[in-house]
Each structure stands twice: as C-alpha cells, then as structure tokens.
Structure 1
C-alpha cells in the first residue's frame, strides 16, 4: 500500500489528538513505516499546524505550482538507482538526488509504478531436471487417482517426521491484540525456541489422523526404527478391523524411507508405494497442512517436557474434524494441478 501525504497527516493528527508528543509520533511512524515515514521536520510542522487549529489534511491550492524535481532526468536517475540496488531506501535516494520526499514518492509510484515487496521464501532453488521431475510426478499421480476423485484416494496414508518442541514462541501475527485509545502499546519479551524436543512420525489419510509415533531412545530416524517399530504400528492401526485392507503409503525420499529394509517390509505386508518428488514439501500433506496447522496451535505454550508437548500435539490433531482432513487431501490434488500449471516451479503465493 502506498503511504500518501494525506495518510501520513491523518496518522500524525491521530497521534496529536491522542495526546502523544512529537517525539512519540516520530518514533511510532519510523517503527511502522521505516524509510517511508515522514521526516521529523514534517511531523513537528504538522503538530504546529494542528495546535493552531488546522483540521484540513490536504494541501492548500497553489496556482501553477510546478513539480520542479519531477523531471525526466530525475526519473531516469531513480530508475538507475533501483536497478543497481533493489534495497535502496527513500533516504538514500533523497541524499543522492537532493530532492524532496514527496517528489520521490511521485517518481516511484506515479512515474515508475514500482512498489517494495518482501521476497518470497522457497524451500530450494530448483534446477530444470527437478522441476521436470515434479511435473512428471504430478501428472502421473493425477492420472492414477483421477485428479483426486478415485476411491483409491481413501487408501492413501501419508507420513512424515518432524520435531516437537517443549516451547515455540508465538509468531508476530499471533501476538496482535486489540488496544483501546490511550492505552500503552503492548510489548512482549523476545524468547527463543526451546532446545528440548522430540521427533515424531505422523501419518494421516483423507478420513483423518491415523497415528503419531514418537521416536524413543534415539535422536535420528533410521531404517531399523522406521521398518521395525514405526511402520508396523501404522499397519496395525489401519488393519485392526480388516487385515486385508489396501494401503498405499506416501512418504518422501528420506534415507530411512528408501532403504532396502523398508522396501522389504512394504513388500512383505503387501503395501503399495506412492513415491514423492525431491525438494517438494509443498506437495506433502503433512508439510503443507498437518505440521504448520497443529504446531501453530501450540505456539506460545510452555510445556514441562517434550513428552508433554507431544501429548498436546496428539490432542490437537485428534480435535481436527474429518472435514478438514478431507479438504487437505482435496487441496493436495489441486496443488498438483498448480505445480503442472507453473511448470514445476514452487507455486504458493504466486
């Protein structure tokens, strides 16, 4: 969103009417808008205007007022500064060209039509072969399961591992609270994530959570634990009512998942395998849905031990309604379609 002069003046007026000092107003504006904040001189000048009784926020009309600094030469100079450094700030542009902040805003937003955006974080810098592998897998899986409409989707069980921490701090967005006028701005002490943690393997299906198995007595998942302890519990849970139930296991390419010991167990139990393309957490139900959703519920809670945190994690999963798991798997197939559409690129927030 572009911060116009009227926007700035409205916020300065709000601070003035709220009883804040000029310095407090300056600090608040810089904290919220950084380099785009109006200068200290501007804020002090508008405080003086409001103290004299002014309530109009727009500029007084001035006939023939020339935009002397908005010249083609300056427009080209700003364009060059941006092309040389995409992080260049308002202050740096002002210092380089010696023109006013309002003229810089006109050049940036009206003449050049640029805006500052946060960079989009991606899991991995994909090469062309990896993009092609993602597309191939999506096309094959969409065909195999009729774009998610096949009843065979109900046989898919997707599993993955993740750390559960005794304490994970809230996100900045989660810490937002309503504040009444004239109340002090809320603060929170910055705390780091706990070092106490426990690895769990979680398995989910279109109808809900299947099981979550904590890793006991060791810190890393290996083929021996995965094939002799973890997967047998998954199979037991799935086939407790029907020993011949069809199971299609989906997991990623971790070494414990692709080991000979694991493949032997799957063959022995007549379990079909749905493989997974490398570097594709955006195509794994646990990675794009289960782990972020459930862990988000636990953020800000301090548990006495990793075991207590795992119990809370399990409880939160069990509270998730069946309709959400169904939606998760529907979204999974929509994601495959998006991956094909974007030719294997990471597609989230595009």
Structure 2
C-alpha cells in the first residue's frame, strides 16, 4: 500500500475510536511487513486529531531552480533546433549550467528524447514526395469510383536482389526445448555473395510473372520493353477477363522505367499494351 493509503486507514480507524496501539496491532496483523511503524501511526494520528484533512505530504522548501528559468529553457531549445545532434554536456557548456539541469530541461520541460536515425531505402526529395502524394490521390479517386474494377485492373512491379542463400532469422531458428536444456546454437552466417536480380509483376490476385536477369546482362530500355510484352502475354493467359480492359499499371521512377517517354521503341510497345501509366 502507498503512504497515503496507510494514512487513510489510520484516519478511518481513529474515527472508530481506536487507540494508536490498537491501530498498530490491527494494521500489523493485516499488512505484515508492509505495516507503517508505530511512530508514523502516532505522528499522523495526532495530525488528524488536530484537524488535518489532507493525506499528502507537506510541500518542501528546497533549493530554488535558478537554472530552470523560461529564458534558459528557450536557450536550450534554440540550441537543439540548430543542431539536434548536440550532446547534453555540449549544451551545458554553451549555456553555463550543469548537465543534470540540461537533461531535466530536455526531458521534463521540452519533452524531448534522443533517438537513433532509422535506416530507410532512400531519402526522397520534395519533388519526389509531391509526385508520390499526387499518384496516391489519383489512385484513391479510381478506387472510390469503382473499388472492384480498380482492384482487378491495378498491376504493379518491382525489382529485388535474390541471394543464393539467405540465413534464417532469429524467429525462424526457434525450437522447443525442455526446461533446463541449453539453448540451441547456430553459426553466424551472412547473405551469400551470389545473387540475381528478379523483376516481379503482380496484381491483387497474385504474381503474374517473375523474370530473373541473366548473368552478365543489365536491365536497359530494350530489355524492359520485352518484359512489358511478356507482361501483356501473362495478363492474357492468367487474367482472361482483362483482355478488353485497360490495365492501371504502376511502377517506380527508376531510369529504365522513366525512359518510356524518351525511347521511341518503348513508347511504341507501351502504346500497344494499352496501359494507363502511373510513375512515382
């Protein structure tokens, strides 16, 4: 029980007319080692007899927080906005207060915490973010207009490296063991050096086809144009109901994808596929 709960019990038992000794014996029998001392019961009992109502401790007059002033908080805040990598010791030296006060201001006054940067595939420019936002809005409009038709027509693609050997994850390596048995061990392994580029095309129903780039070749405009022809064939075979529908095709802005508008050969094939083209 918390201290204020002990005091509430003491106050209640005093109202019943019990003496300090009786209160101590009663709480000791109930709480055991968690029982407050007889001195504490007597101290708070006398306070309640004198008319005290509050169960909380009296405020203490400690040392004034001269360092934690609004002006100092603003100084620390400005330094953090200028350089978010600053250490607490560097801020303390710059503003002339202790490191402990700086940490208090950062955590309690500014509600800030220091986190490590998260790895992301790439950092997007403002223009790239704007294009992606606009493409998302356009797709959402198509989706709201006819949800079922949109999911049937929407096709996307992406490329990824497939390693010849990928070590199992920590979750995958779990196994049942009896209590007391040593934990299973495995040697540390890394991704294999051998790998192949896979181009995957899929829609809401699943994979349409996967192309594995041959060793020594690169994906250029002509190669990608052939992939689009194969995609057209795969859609005709696996999605026969789409023969008379215009596909909503989405892809990223990789150079080989965005060269559609610059290469006549790809532009010709692209027009033949009758795709609605989304680039983001």
TM-score, length basis structure 1: 0.46
CA distance in 2, matches of 1:225, 1:141: 28
Cα-to-partner distance string for 1:93-143 (whole Å, 9 max, x where unaligned):
455645253x3332222223333244565632224xx55544443443333
Structure 2 match to 1:288: none
**Which residue number corresponds to residue 88 of structure 1?**
86
Higher relative contact order (CA 8 A, sep 6+): 1
Match of residue 106, structure 1, among 104, 107, 110? 104
CA distance in 2, matches of 1:87, 1:132: 28
- From 265, 274, 279, give the equivalent of 1:261: 265
2:219 to 214, 218, 221: 221
The total of aligned residue pairs comes to 207
Determine the C-alpha separation between the residues in 1 that align with 2:187 and 2:74. 45
Separation in 2, partners of 1:233, 1:70: 70
Counterpart residue number, 2:126 = 126
Q: Paired residue for 1:43?
A: none
Q: What corresponds to 1:276 in structure 2?
A: 279
Q: Map of 1:266-345 to 2, 5 A cutoff?
A: 266-268=270-272, 270-277=273-280
Structure 2 residue aligned with 1:238: 235
Name 1:48's counterpart in structure 2.
Answer: none
**Bigger CA radius of gyration:** 2
What are structure 2's unaligned runs of at least 5 residues?
A: 1-57, 176-181
- What SS does the aligned partner of 1:275 have? strand
Give the RMSD, CA atoms, in angstroms: 4.3
Structure 1 residue 154, shift from structure 2 partner? 0.4
TM superposition shift of 1:204: 0.9
1:154 is aligned, of 152, 155, 175, to 152
The residue that corresponds to 1:5 in the other structure is: none
SS at match of 2:279: coil
**What residue ranges of structure 1 are gaps of 5+ in the alignment?**
1-60, 178-183, 278-350
